[in-house]
């Protein structure tokens, strides 16, 4: 690896930063993907090494292939489209390779880097030389666009009204933060240091600006991807200054309150209150999730107990008061925080969860999974894995069309067959280009690295978080090697089969996640049930001396579950949502399938409705649907008159503490004799793939 030092012979700060890189190169093959806790002293679980997991068939294998062949190319095409809001061309202009004005959002560069990260992740799997050349081409452009001092943010380089590090709202640290992560991922995928060198120069620039803690930079950044980026770079290079800089920046949060939307210091950007003192999720939902992810990464390296305690409090607030049943977060476009600050695209009041006007931005939803995945690595607790899974199968996948080429910004839980909603980001159909294009590259990079979220390791144990057909080959922290093949048709079927291909010499534990919804799960080894119960929301541990050919069988029953919401959620009273396994279902009525008539006639659920699962291989990419008999307006009125008493009052002493959604307990009622309609529920993630439609996740009861 060559390195140019300062002309006077003294080592520059850049050269010092590369000492860690030189150290880590020898250990390149042990690098882990995504959230690299392989050497983090305060993480319970270690991320697996690059290449340890490969999807082989089934749900996630198909989506990874679609990501490779459709999503990543579609995002590339979108970033080159003149009528889009984010543009790769800005980098060429800043590099002096093209002429033209800056015509993008302030955060355009960051989304270009997210796309490059997804390309690197796909390259690591495929070793496709065309992808390698594509990355080399754009990395060369980025290097030419970067200033000599390491600064790079084309909105400040190409516009007269934006200066470097002028105000937080210009998102310059969002742009540079994603560059730091993409540079680290590219190095791990290719072994090349071309992008990493750019990232190091950027981090050294930031270190020189922020380490002295000038007051004018206290409320930077507005959108804090830079926290994760700095710690990614620290984990890749071993350079401790980058970890210290992340600690300084996170410590600045809340130390200078009282600003405004553009300058920070308010709940909109989570810096009115220091994060170590915060008790609730506030402000812009994406910036909140990036802050919480960065704080979790920092805890993994430093063990700052106050950070973990704050993250636990905030997590409790989100999951028991402010999260949609799909795992989506960010209830509204505009409002005020509990402390009176104006906020938008934000967390709003407890239990305020509107459906059709749900903001639920794709980047925020994915951020919720990113945060929960980090909390899982820190603690090893199944509740966090449950949240990851809820997002992935629902509010993350709903953002991308079944052909992988079109996207949603907002992910509402109800729709009325219109093309547009009350906000430009609420649409009834997915789009190819948009006025804010941050979400498509977020989807691409998440699916591209998801296989690396399936497993973790700890001393003497392998942890299974996500189920899907795959191969797994890894070396445990103590040096023991393990390999197996997992086969399953999850999430449509709850049967999981793991066959040991390579057994470690010493006894090893396999910890199988038992989802919180799996009340009667069972585990067998070589046909014999294991001792001890497989409790929902935990990891069932099977420890033994394994042999090649041993078979683990996990059975997760998947009955259809009816859910009700906390009565404080006014819009959801007397409404029911439906789940089977990890999948949230919706009632969708496409206009081109006579959906308007169905909606006019009305759809109401009798309390003890029975849904029958049916797999449709040729529908919506292959899904399990749920068939049932509902009531029309006429049928509902007759049903209430002839069969059912008025809606029951809440049970005396009914306890909803710390519960936002729970299983609905229906009364046993006689079935309706007329005024019925057959309905078919489809997975929520698959809605809006058959033209404009009516849709609802929460369907009213016949009361």
Six-digit token pair at 478? 């103590």
Which contiguous run of DSSP H or E holds residue 162? none
What is the three-class DSSP state of 414? strand
Based on the residue annotation, tell me whether 438 is a catalytic residue of this protein: yes
Backbone angles phi, psi at 55, to 5 degrees: -65, 140
Contact 347, 281 (CB under 8 A): yes
The answer to whether 7 and 15 are in contact (CB under 8 A) is: no
SS3 content of the chain, % helix, strand, coil (to 5): 40, 20, 40
| End-to-end CA gap in the chain | 72
| DSSP per-residue codes, 144-165 | HHS-TTS---HHHHH-SS--TT
* Phi, psi at 612, each rounded to 5°: -110, 120
Q: How far is CA 690 from CA 294, 344, 466, 591, 699, in A?
A: 39, 31, 29, 9, 20
> Longest Cα pair distance anywhere in the chain, in angstroms?
94
Token pair 């990851």 is at which residue? 388
Among residues 67, 112, 363, 438, the one annotated as catalytic is: 438
Handedness of CA 554, 491, 35, 322 (dihedral sign): negative
Query: Residue 318 in contact with residue 329, Cβ under 8 Å?
Result: yes
Count CB neighbours of 335 within 10 A.
15
What is the 8-class DSSP label of residue 701?
Answer: B
Within 10 angstroms of residue 303's Cβ, the number of other Cβ atoms is 13
Which one from 247, 278, 345, 588 is the annotated catalytic residue? 345
How far apart are alpha carbons 292 and 285 in whole angstroms?
11
Residues 118, 445 contacting (CB under 8 angstroms): yes
In whole angstroms, what is the distance from residue 232 CA to residue 295 CA?
13
Backbone angles phi, psi at 356, to 5 degrees: -65, -35
Tokens representing 40 are: 């983090």
Residue appearing with tokens 């949609």: 324
DSSP 3-state of 656: coil
Hunting for tokens 């939307």 — which residue is that?
A: 261
Triad 131, 133, 135: Cα angle to 5°:
70
Q: Spell out the residues 6+ positions from residue 72 whose beta carbon is closer than 8 angstroms to its own.
A: 115, 118, 119, 122, 444, 448
Is 67 an annotated catalytic residue? Answer: no
* DSSP run (H or E) holding 379: helix 362-379
**What residues act catalytically?**
345, 438
């Amino acid at each position: 690896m060559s390195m140019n030092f300062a002309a006077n012979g003294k080592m520059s700060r850049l050269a010092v930063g590369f000492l860690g890189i030189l150290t880590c190169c020898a250990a390149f093959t042990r690098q882990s993907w995504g959230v690299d806790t392989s050497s983090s002293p305060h993480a319970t679980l270690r991320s697996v090494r690059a290449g340890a997991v490969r999807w082989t068939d089934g749900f996630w294998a198909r989506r990874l292939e679609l990501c490779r062949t459709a999503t990543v190319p579609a995002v590339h095409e979108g970033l080159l489209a003149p009528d889009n809001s984010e543009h790769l061309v800005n980098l060429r202009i800043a590099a002096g390779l093209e002429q033209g004005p800056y015509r993008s959002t302030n955060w355009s560069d960051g989304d270009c880097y997210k796309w490059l990260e997804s390309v690197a992740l796909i390259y690591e799997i495929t070793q496709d030389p065309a992808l390698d050349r594509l990355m080399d081409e754009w990395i060369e452009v980025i290097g030419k666009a970067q200033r000599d001092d390491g600064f790079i943010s084309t909105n400040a380089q190409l516009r007269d009204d934006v200066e470097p590090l002028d105000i937080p709202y210009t998102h310059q640290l969002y742009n540079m933060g994603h560059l730091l992560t993409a540079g680290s991922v590219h190095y791990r995928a290719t072994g090349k240091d071309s992008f990493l060198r750019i990232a190091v120069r950027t981090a050294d620039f930031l270190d020189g600006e922020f380490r002295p803690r000038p007051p004018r930079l206290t409320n930077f950044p507005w959108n804090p991807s830079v926290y994760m980026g700095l710690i990614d770079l620290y984990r890749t290079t071993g350079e401790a200054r980058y970890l210290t800089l992340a600690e300084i920046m996170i410590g600045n949060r809340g130390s200078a309150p009282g600003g405004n939307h553009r300058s920070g210091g308010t709940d909109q950007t989570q810096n009115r209150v220091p994060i170590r003192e915060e008790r609730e999720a506030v402000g812009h939902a994406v910036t909140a999730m990036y802050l919480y992810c960065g704080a979790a990464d920092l805890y993994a390296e430093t063990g700052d107990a106050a950070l973990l305690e704050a993250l636990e409090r905030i997590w409790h607030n989100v999951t028991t008061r402010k999260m949609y049943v799909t795992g989506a977060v960010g209830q509204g476009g505009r409002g005020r925080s509990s402390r009176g600050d104006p906020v938008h695209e934000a967390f709003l009041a407890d239990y305020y969860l509107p459906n059709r006007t749900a903001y639920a931005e794709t980047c925020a939803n994915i951020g919720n999974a990113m945060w929960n995945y980090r909390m899982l690595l820190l603690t090893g607790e199944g509740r966090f894995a449950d949240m990851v899974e809820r997002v992935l199968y629902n509010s993350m996948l709903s953002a991308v069309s079944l052909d992988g080429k079109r996207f949603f910004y907002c992910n509402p839980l109800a729709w009325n067959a219109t093309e547009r909603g009350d906000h430009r980001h609420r649409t009834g159909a997915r789009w190819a280009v948009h006025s804010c294009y941050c979400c498509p590259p977020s989807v691409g990079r998440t699916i591209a690295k998801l296989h690396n979220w399936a497993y973790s390791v700890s001393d003497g144990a392998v942890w299974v978080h996500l189920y899907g057909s795959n191969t797994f080959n890894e070396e445990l922290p103590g040096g023991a090697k393990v390999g197996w093949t997992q086969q399953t048709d999850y999430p449509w079927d709850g049967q999981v089969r793991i066959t040991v291909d390579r057994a470690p010499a010493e006894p090893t534990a396999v910890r199988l996640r038992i989802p919180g919804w799996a009340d009667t799960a069972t585990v067998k080894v070589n046909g014999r049930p294991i001792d001890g119960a497989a409790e929902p929301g935990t990891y069932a541990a099977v420890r033994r001396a394994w042999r090649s050919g041993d078979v683990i069988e996990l059975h997760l029953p998947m009955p259809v579950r009816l859910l009700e919401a906390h009565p404080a959620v006014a819009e959801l009273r007397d409404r029911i949502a439906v789940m089977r396994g990890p999948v949230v279902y919706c009632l969708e009525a496409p206009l081109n399938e006579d959906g308007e008539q169905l909606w006019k006639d009305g759809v109401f659920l009798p309390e003890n409705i029975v849904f029958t699962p049916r797999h449709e291989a040729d529908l919506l990419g292959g899904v399990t649907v749920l068939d049932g008999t509902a009531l029309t307006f006429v049928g509902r009125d007759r049903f209430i008159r002839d069969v059912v008493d008025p809606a029951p009052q809440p049970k005396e002493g009914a306890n909803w503490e710390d519960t936002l959604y729970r299983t609905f307990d229906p009364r046993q009622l006689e079935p309706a004799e007329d005024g019925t309609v057959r309905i078919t529920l489809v997975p929520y993630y698959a809605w809006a793939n058959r033209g404009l439609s009516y849709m609802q996740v929460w369907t009213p009861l016949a009361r």
